[in-house]
């Protein structure tokens, strides 16, 4: 028996999050993003899509298509919280979860489904349970490879469930327009159409004869894509151990002290250490907590939460010392500490609304999947993205 790989994709996540927060928006055309000439639609509700509104579209164009469009600003902190709830829900079934973006993941359910008599019913129940517990809507693709699972989750939205077995590929995938194939970007699709490849079925036919025109267009990805549409491809879910929710550091003075200059110096060093670790681990936090332990070993904690996640040393230091001076200035202390809490991955919220284009983000994700596939074939991590190489050089 092969693996059972699942791709779960939250439907219109940001827009749905706003509907959860404000149920009066349900069923109305809603767009998430900045209103104005430079504004871009981050995502939109399905009601807005009926008017032709789409992700990556200039907001002024969206308003022309749908004058009654309701525009909501992006709230990364709120969406990030819902995203973590979603991933924790999936991890309650299996720890083999690979987070693909803020609103989607791959998961290996091979062992889980061995205990199920009706796989379709099991995943439908899971889908309904997610909705009941969080009000989030998702589409699920189930297959033997990551590519097929991804295609399955895209097949029916919202609240779709598609199981793609190898024998189902001609029936489900072949009729789809070539633009709908994961891995075929917006630059490649027109080139394929120019040689008569309009559907995934057309692509499969050309692959069967190792068409030279097709190989010239796809280059090194030809054999990867050929594998994908024949039911082969990667089934490896790359998961990380649970990440810590905080980064902290504390230090004991050589002698008990109430000298504010000594205390400030200690907090500055602690803030630098916490900041350095957060930067190294690529984490941002929204809460700073300080600890002050008296000479009598009594400990005190004080924290503050803020809207904009940070790992900046100066901000951590200034916040920590302000908390101390406002609450514990008269104390004689033997130890102080600083902790950055409620950590998040900056990739979950690093969307620049003036520049953001979801299609570009999707193609970046596709490139990553293709590189992983090629490395799998080479049996070593030989290939990385140019942007990652630049980061390593730095």
Catalytic entry in 19, 104, 268, 273: 104
The two structure tokens encoding residue 68? 């009654």
Residue 244, classed as helix, strand or coil, is coil
Distance from C-alpha of 335 to C-alpha of 266, rounded to nearest angstrom: 9
Residue 89 is inside which H or E element, if any?
Answer: helix 76-91
Scored b (16 or more CB within 10 A) or e, 316-347 reads bbebbbebbeeebeebebbbbbbbbbbbbbee
What is the 8-class DSSP label of residue 344? B
The two structure tokens encoding residue 197? 């490849």
- In the residue annotation, 104 being an active-site residue is answered as yes
DSSP states along 270-304:
HHHHHHHHHHHTT-BEEEEEEEEEETT--EEEEEE
With contact defined as beta carbons under 8 Å apart, do 222 and 263 qualify? no
Name residue, tokens 């504390």: 250
Long-range contacts of 177-185 (CB under 8 A, 24+ apart): 178/202, 178/203, 180/154, 181/151, 181/229, 182/147, 182/150, 182/151, 182/154, 182/366, 182/369, 183/147, 183/221, 183/224, 183/225, 183/228, 183/366, 183/369, 183/370, 184/225, 185/363, 185/366
With contact defined as beta carbons under 8 Å apart, do 133 and 356 qualify? no
Active-site residue set:
104
């Amino acid at each position: 028996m092969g693996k059972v790989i699942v791709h779960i994709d939250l439907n219109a996540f940001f827009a749905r999050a706003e509907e959860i927060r404000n149920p009066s928006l349900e069923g109305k055309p809603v767009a998430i993003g900045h209103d104005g000439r430079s504004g871009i639609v981050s995502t939109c509700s399905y009601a807005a899509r009926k008017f032709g509104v789409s992700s990556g579209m200039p907001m002024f164009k969206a308003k022309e298509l749908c004058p009654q469009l309701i525009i909501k600003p992006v709230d990364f902190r709120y969406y990030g919280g819902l995203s973590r709830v979603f991933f924790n829900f999936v991890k309650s079934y299996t720890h083999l979860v690979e987070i693909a973006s803020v609103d989607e993941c791959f998961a290996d359910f091979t062992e889980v489904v061995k205990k199920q008599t009706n796989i379709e019913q099991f995943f439908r129940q899971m889908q309904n349970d997610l909705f009941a517990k969080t009000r989030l809507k998702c589409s699920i693709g189930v297959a033997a490879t990551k590519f097929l699972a991804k295609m399955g989750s895209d097949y029916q939205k919202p609240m779709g469930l598609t199981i793609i077995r190898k024998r189902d590929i001609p029936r489900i995938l072949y009729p789809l327009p070539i633009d709908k194939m994961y891995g075929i970007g917006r630059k490649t699709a027109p080139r394929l159409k120019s040689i008569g490849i309009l559907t995934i079925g057309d692509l499969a036919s050309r692959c069967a004869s190792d068409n030279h025109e097709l190989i010239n267009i796809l280059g090194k990805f030809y054999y990867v894509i050929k594998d994908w549409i024949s039911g082969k491809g990667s089934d490896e879910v790359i998961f990380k151990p649970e990440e810590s929710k905080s980064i902290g550091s504390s230090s004991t003075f050589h002698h008990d002290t109430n000298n504010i200059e000594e205390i400030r110096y200690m907090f500055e060093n602690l803030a630098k250490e916490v900041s350095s670790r957060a930067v190294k681990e690529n984490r941002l936090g929204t809460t700073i907590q300080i600890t002050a332990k008296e000479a009598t070993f009594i400990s005190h904690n004080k924290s503050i939460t803020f809207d904009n996640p940070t790992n900046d040393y100066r901000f951590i230091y200034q916040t920590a010392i302000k908390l101390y001076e406002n609450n514990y200035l008269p104390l004689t202390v033997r130890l102080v500490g600083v902790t950055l809490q409620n950590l998040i991955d900056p990739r979950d919220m690093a969307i620049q609304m003036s520049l953001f284009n979801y299609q570009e983000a999707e193609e970046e994700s596709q490139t990553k999947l293709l590189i992983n596939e090629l490395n799998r074939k080479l049996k070593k991590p030989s290939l990385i993205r140019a942007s990652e190489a630049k980061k390593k050089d730095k």
